[in-house]
């Protein structure tokens, strides 16, 4: 099978995803997306407080009841991971209502929110928290195949779920359409959906905890080496860490990533074994840029990075290259 490595052209780190919009819709999208950005930023560190302030009382109580088992004291690593790795989607918009979503391709989970109000007064009226498969109308996958895919490389899995989820979102919630979650609510058991999301979130937390154990000190050291190189490495350091051979200019392009994005990159994925390790990194402020580093048994580092805004192009190229 013929394969290719691809990377996207850099552009500014926008978080709002939407189809082309008329001027009036653009204003509403900016209001919706701007509020969602504030909520997401707060929810990374304190999801309970962030959601209780953003959602209206009935929805806030429902969200707290649904997610209460994820908390250890005041902290929910599962929800923090979800928001930390999620991108914001904005769809159907009317005068005082709209659809906003947070989608994490790493958990393949989507939180859809029907919002109501204008400007800073916009609040979440109701929500649905679904697995990506349910949202897309696909057969439910084993959680480990989502978190640690074996049927395809991790990068390809991220491209696929991001691209098909965006296509589904834009089809269900065109900007000029009616902002409603009623059609999706049919035949959905919210408790079961969230239990399935938790299986993935817990698996990701366990992988992160595994990296911190004494038996994986080498893996942790390799993760930190890659992190420092991605954050602050000079061209010479990048080439030294990730190899001199760079036939398609992956490292050369990385040198052009704005320092503001690179310096705040952090690890969001780890899979360590005796023979190899793989680590995923992103900047929570610009989660569309993904950096994947593989380390083999000979401590050879390989870098792959891409822009999730180009997921559909990347996935199509992968499929065409088979």
The reported pTM is: 0.90
pLDDT at 121 over 60: yes
Q: What is the pLDDT of residue 7?
A: 28
Percentage with pLDDT > 70 across the chain: 88
**C-alpha span between 244 and 12 (Å, rounded):** 28
The angle formed by the CA atoms of residues 221, 294 and 3, to the nearest 5 degrees, is: 175
Is residue 43 within 8 Å of residue 71, measured between CB atoms? no
Number of Cβ within a 10 Å radius of residue 61: 12
Q: How far is Cα 292 from Cα 283, in angstroms, rounded to an integer?
A: 13
Mean pLDDT of the chain: 87
- What is the CA angle 306-19-106, rounded to 5? 40
Residue 49 in contact with residue 42, Cβ under 8 Å? Answer: yes
Dist CA 66 CA 20 (whole Å): 35
For the chain, domains (ranges, CATH) are 16-211 (no CATH), 214-321 (3.10.450)
Q: Which of 106-115, 231-240, 243-252 has the highest mean pLDDT?
A: 106-115
Please check the confidence at residue 3 and state whether its pLDDT lies above 50. no
- C-alpha distances (whole Å) from 252 to each of 35, 124, 243, 245, 290 are 36, 43, 12, 11, 16
Tokens of 124: 């979440």
As given in the structure block, the two tokens for residue 198 are 């938790």
User: Which of left, alpha, beta for 290 (phi over 0: left; psi -120 to 50: alpha)?
Assistant: beta
Range list of H helices, the chain: 23-45, 47-54, 57-67, 77-84, 132-136, 143-147, 154-172, 182-185, 190-211, 217-232, 235-242, 250-254, 259-262, 311-321
DSSP state of 118: S
pLDDT in tens, 288-314: 999 999 999 999 999 999 999 999 999
> Does pLDDT of 8 surpass 80?
no
215-228 pLDDT per residue, tens: 899 999 999 999 99
């Amino acid at each position: 099978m013929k394969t290719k490595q691809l990377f996207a052209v850099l552009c500014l780190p926008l978080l709002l995803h939407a189809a082309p919009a008329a001027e009036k819709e653009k204003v509403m999208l900016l209001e919706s997306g701007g509020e969602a950005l504030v909520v997401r930023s707060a929810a990374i560190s304190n999801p309970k407080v962030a959601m209780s302030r953003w959602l209206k009382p009935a929805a806030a109580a429902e969200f707290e009841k649904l997610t209460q088992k994820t908390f250890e004291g005041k902290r929910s690593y599962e929800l923090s991971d979800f928001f930390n790795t999620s991108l914001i989607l904005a769809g159907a918009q009317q005068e005082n209502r709209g659809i906003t979503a947070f989608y994490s391709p790493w958990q393949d989970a989507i939180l859809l929110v029907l919002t109501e109000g204008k400007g800073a007064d916009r609040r979440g009226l109701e929500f649905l928290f679904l697995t990506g498969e349910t949202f897309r109308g696909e057969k439910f996958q084993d959680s480990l195949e989502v978190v640690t895919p074996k049927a395809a490389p991790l990068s390809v899995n991220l491209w696929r779920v991001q691209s098909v989820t965006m296509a589904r979102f834009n089809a269900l919630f065109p900007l000029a359409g009616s902002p409603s979650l009623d059609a999706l609510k049919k035949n959905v058991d919210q408790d079961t959906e969230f239990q399935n999301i938790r299986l993935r979130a817990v698996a990701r937390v366990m992988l992160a905890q595994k990296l911190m154990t004494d038996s994986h000190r080498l893996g942790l050291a390799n993760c930190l080496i890659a992190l420092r190189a991605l954050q602050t490495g000079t061209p010479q350091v990048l080439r030294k860490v990730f190899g001199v051979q760079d036939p398609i200019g992956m490292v050369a392009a990385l040198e052009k990533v704005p320092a503001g994005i690179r310096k705040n990159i952090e690890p969001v994925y780890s899979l360590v074994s005796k023979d190899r390790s793989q680590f995923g990194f992103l900047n929570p402020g610009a989660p569309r840029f993904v950096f994947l580093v593989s380390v083999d048994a000979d401590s050879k580092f390989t870098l792959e990075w891409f822009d999730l805004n180009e997921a559909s192009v990347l996935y199509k190229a992968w499929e065409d290259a088979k």
